[in-house]
Amino acid sequence: MPKLTDVTKENVEKKETGIENVAALVMRGDLNHVLNQDLLAVLPVAVRKSKSRFRKEAQVLCLRFLYGNDTLEHGIMYLVYYIIGGIIMIDGKKVLFSGMQATGNLTLGNYLGALKNWVTLCDEYECFYSVVDLHSITVRQDPAELRKRARNLLTLYIAAGLDPEKNCLYYQSHVSGHAELSWILNCFTYMGELNRMTQFKDKAAKHADNINAGLFTYPVLMAADILLYQADVVPVGKDQLQHLEITRDIAQRFNGIYGDVFTIPEPYIGKAGAKIMSLQDPAKKMSKSDENANASIYLMDDPDTIIRKFKRAVTDSEACVRYQESQPGIMNLIDIYCACTGKTPAETEKEFEGKGYGDFKLAVGESVVDVLKPLQNRFDDLTKNKDYIDKVIKENAEKANYYANKTLRKVQKKVGFPEKIR
C-alpha cells in the first residue's frame, strides 16, 4: 500500500498514486496518515487548525464522490486534489453568491455600488461571484463579443481586488448545474409568479421583437444560481429584491415537499455602496445599457473621456454645491466625489463653498480618474497574462462545479431521478 506522504497534486493528477488504497484509508477514517508532517506542509492553515472537522468532512466528501462521479478513481482523485488544495470549506463560513451579466461595459456605478465592496467579504463569507453569461442570451448577442466581454468581466473582477484564491470567480456557462437545476425548479414555479415579475415586463417592453421563454423564466435561473451553492446571503439592490423573494418561495416550496434540501437565502445587509445615478438623468441609476453615452462613466474610459462626461453632467440653475433633494444632479456628483475621496457631503460643501459648478465638476472628474487608474493598469497587466487568466478560469470552474454537483445530486435523488449505473 502506498504511503500518503507520496500524495501530491502532481502525482494525483498523473494517476501515479494507488488511488483505491487512498480511498480505503479515507473511508475507514484512517486520516492520521494524511495528517502527517510531510503532507501538512501543503495543507492550508485552516485545515491544520481543524483536524477533527477535516476528518469528518473528508469522509463525507469521499462517500459523495464514490456515488457521484463516473469512476472511483476519478472521484477519489478529485477528493485528494481538493483536500490538498484546501478548496473544501472547513471554516464554517456562510456562503455568499452574486454575479454580473457579461453585457455592456461595467460602469462607475457597478464599481462603487457593488464590486468595490465585494473585496473584503471573503473574510466573512465563502464567496461565489459568477459571470452570468447564461442570463445574457435572453437578448440576442454577438457570439464573439459575448466571449470577449465575459473574459473582460472576469478579469475586471480580479483587477478590482477580488482574489481568485479566496473567492470563486467563474463563468456560469462552465457549470452545467445552473441549467440543470433551473429546469427542475421550473417545475416548482407557477406561471402566476413569473407573470408578476416587473423586470420581465420592463425587458419585454424594450425587446418586443424577442419576448422569449428564457426572458420569462429568467427569475428561475437566478434562483438556481443562488440555491445551487446553498447561499446564505445575496447582495441585492431594490430592483432585485423581487427576484430574491421568488427564490425564497421556490426553495420553501421544494423543502416543504422533500425536506430540508435548500438553504433559504437572505438579502445581504452590509456596508451600503454608493448609489450612483445617471449623469444625464439623476432620477435613474447609471446603467451600462444607457443609450446616451454621456450618461455613464465606464470603468475603462480614458481620463479625457471621464472629464468630458462630467463637464456635460446635468446640474441646475442654483449655482451652489449643496447636498439637498432639490438639487438631484449635484447630490449625485457629491455622492461620487465622496465615494472616491472618502470625504463627507458636509466637507464637500465646505470645500466648494463660493465656487462654481465648473470647478466642482472638474474636481469630481479628477477624483474618478484617480480611483480608476490603478484598476485600469491592473486590468491591462492581467489581460496580457493569458496563461494566468486561463488558470483562474479552469481552477475556479472546478471548484464551482464541485459545490454545484453536491447540491444537484441531492436534488436529483429527491425528485426521483434514477441513479447512474457505475
Residues designated catalytic: 203, 285, 288
Is residue 179 within 8 A of residue 139, CB to CB? The reply is no
- Paired strand residues for 126: 95
Alpha-carbon dihedral sign for residues 354, 357, 362, 363? positive
Residues 240, 261: Cα–Cα separation, whole Å: 24
Comparing C-alpha atoms, which of 84, 133, 257 is closest to residue 184? 257
Distances (CA, A) of 1 to 9, 19, 24, 231, 392: 19, 10, 10, 40, 35
**Which grid coordinates are listed for 1?**
500500500
CB 375 within 8 A of CB 106: no
Q: Which of 219, 179, 248, 243 is nearest to 401 (CA)?
A: 179
One-letter amino acid at 129 equals Y
User: How many C-beta neighbours within 10 Å does residue 235 have?
Assistant: 20
How far apart CA 251 and CA 100 sit, in angstroms, is 22
The answer to whether the CB of 218 falls within 8 A of the CB of 139 is no
> Are the C-beta atoms of residues 267 and 241 closer than 8 Å to each other?
yes
The DSSP element (H or E) to which 93 belongs, if any, is none
Q: Are 185 and 227 in contact (CB under 8 A)?
A: yes
Instruction: Give CA–CA dist 188/270, Å, rounded.
Output: 31
169 forms bridges with which residues in the sheet? 129
β-strand partners of 277: 285
d(CA 366, CA 377): 17
Radius of gyration of the chain (CA): 24
Measured distance CA(260)–CA(252) in Å, rounded: 9
